[in-house]
Structure 1
């Protein structure tokens, strides 16, 4: 738990350091040699003579230093010799050109190396106890495109940027042209565990099952927290398939009224119409007791009209009978609300990616390159958490 708590603020702590101190700490957490090896051309150092590992380090340092263009990165490498040296690039040569930086970025994209590095870092964070993974929050964020705006119908044919709309936390409808970043985040560390990028018009609920499956590979997830926009049966089923529970508020716009004898939150009603009292779960069975017997209401008929037992009438509900309506823990409970409140971790992760890094400062186009750009930003968060956790361990030793 000590490391988990440390990782909550490690990235902000790293940001407070000067660049000359921040970069060595950051690079200490990742070994880029296996990935740089796959970037090399047939020539040992590449046709342009620049070390591929150095360029890869520079591409990762860019979002950390809030550099969002290849032009800006080239300029920083050209004028800041310390920065170039810390990236592992030679000082007796000119800085890599804009074209070289762009070409290596394209190689990262074509060979899927950014995704591989991301997944390897997630695995390392799990091994070192930084990522727990038992509670996961899922949500999407709007990403504005660096592409020429087109009519929606024409954009759908390209599979790249498109028009999207979303309601903010105040109920205002926001429109944008670009993409959606879909994130699955460990709620304890607030670190990303899986991500995907889609055109902005893609429905959030369509992407959740894939993210759940990716996260659950090698991780025992207990709960997935999602907002009401994901209130679709397939998302409850996807969570159930990986032996987890989806915690999603019911979107009452999807139904006119609850089934007879049931509240909108899935609580059975007694014969007098009172909501019964939730009394715990036994496996897939939810147990509800007479509300008069539990002191929740003062029924004019007492318990005798419904049950001859002093315990009062009991109703059991099988959660498998309606995965969307029934949840364990039950929707009306304090525990359910506590779990749902953990969903804000994905919002904070999205905020870090946009506010401190360059997730929403695109200067590449096409969904594949945009995805690589998002992976590089997510890698910075993971590597930062690893670096600060290891530094804390060394300091405590």
Structure 2
């Protein structure tokens, strides 16, 4: 009897059970350390010479997250007490262990550059080139994590003078509209309505994201409001590969929907993924401009609908499928990509309907998704295909859980938003590097089994 061997499923958890030397080498080899070193190393021959081993310091900062070492102080203690660990980080026996101040200066240099984002992009592109990312669906969601410092005391709001009763005159209203337009035009991009982001370049959007710790509120699984003081991490995750394809760091007060377009533009402009078809999100992203951005990318939106006090349209069900004369819902049949048209066929109940031969109800109903991108999606809302794609959204929640449980996302040790962003960028970079390392080992094991 022939024995069929199942393909290996080497995971991140198994990667972390490897010997430290092999684990560090597998993860660090997925990161372009030379580019980071070139960015932070001294570029002038003038001034005092550098005696620090910057390359080893960078590796040790990354390994701190791999080993879940809580603070830089604990990292230095480990380097002083464990010579094998020190050598695994790339230090020589003769190298002095860097001080906390030296590590702080290194992190400051990282704050002043975008090198971590560039290296993150290279890891994703390398995973695509090696065939590990072939997703057809991306899931987008946000996760919160608290700042190190406690929230400042709440400021008392100034008393607002009561508005004058009665309608404004035409001249007063025109003047008010002019002032309101000027006020909104001068607002930062992330305080404007979401549609203002559609025509803004990606680089400008990312540069203007608010990063200071702020109060944020979100409903938990029980439907209760959960408040925290800190930050948000916004992720676009491949639902089958579970790589972080795009990430965005922001203040905790930023609305989730306002981070969607920067993430989508990043996917569209920075990642060449021909297999991509769908973008799935929860009801917090149910805004017309987000559907428009997905449509501009040539993808389809699978986003939960938020009624927002809207009544159900007459002649349609809750999923916007047309209904017959007796209010039975038409069945979703197919989507014509060439004409961007949904096709519905008559309900099953119409087979025995006495009005079937009266010409009252049509047998086939077609509607273009561009007539209302929010209501009409491909596949159609409520269909089995739509539900199956929407279930894939759990991938981004799973990745959020990994970042908090295994990669210290919750362990922010810095007081400023810029330093906290470096922490977030390192966490997402180490996660993706660990994924790539695990996939490479998995591929090697499969090759050995096939041989």
Same fold judged by TM-score > 0.5?
yes
Matched, 1:276 2:330: yes
How do 1:132-171 residues align onto structure 2 when only pairs under 5 Å count? 132-151=134-153, 160-171=212-223
Name the residue aligned to 2:196.
Answer: none
How do 1:51-70 residues align onto structure 2 when only pairs under 5 Å count? 51-70=53-72
Shift of 1:102: 1.4
Q: Residues 236, 46 of structure 1: CA spacing in aligned structure 2 closer, same or farther, 3 A cutoff? A: farther
Shift of 1:307: 5.4
Give 1 or 2 for the bigger CA radius of gyration: 2
How do 1:184-333 residues align onto structure 2 when only pairs under 5 Å count? 184-217=236-269, 218-220=272-274, 221-252=276-307, 254-283=308-337, 284-291=340-347, 295-296=348-349, 300-306=353-359, 313-333=363-383
- Summarize deviations over 1:298-329 as a string: whole Å, max 9, x none: 66433123359xxx522111100000000110
For the aligned residue pairs, the C-alpha RMSD in angstroms reads: 2.3
> Please, what TM-score do these two structures have when normalized by structure 1?
0.90
Classify the secondary structure of the residue corresponding to 1:137. Answer: strand
Shift of 1:391: 2.6
Q: Is the 2:10–2:438 Cα contact (8 Å) retained in structure 1?
A: no
Q: Residues 152, 161 of structure 1: CA spacing in aligned structure 2 closer, same or farther, 3 A cutoff? A: farther
User: 5+ residue gaps in structure 2?
Assistant: 1-6, 157-190, 192-209
The count of corresponding residues between Structure 1 and Structure 2 is: 383
Shift of 1:15: 1.8
Shift of 1:383: 1.3
Name the residue aligned to 2:176.
Answer: none
How do 1:331-350 residues align onto structure 2 when only pairs under 5 Å count? 331-350=381-400
* Alpha-carbon distance in structure 1 between the residues aligned to 2:277 and 2:59: 36
Shift of 1:114: 1.1
Q: Is the 1:228–1:251 Cα contact (8 Å) retained in structure 2?
A: yes
Name the residue aligned to 2:199.
Answer: none
Q: 2:435 aligns with which of 379, 385, 397?
A: 385
Classify the secondary structure of the residue corresponding to 1:147. Answer: coil
> Please, what TM-score do these two structures have when normalized by structure 2?
0.80
How do 1:35-184 residues align onto structure 2 when only pairs under 5 Å count? 35-42=36-43, 47-151=49-153, 160-184=212-236
* Alpha-carbon distance in structure 1 between the residues aligned to 2:310 and 2:281: 22
Q: Residues 375, 153 of structure 1: CA spacing in aligned structure 2 closer, same or farther, 3 A cutoff? A: farther
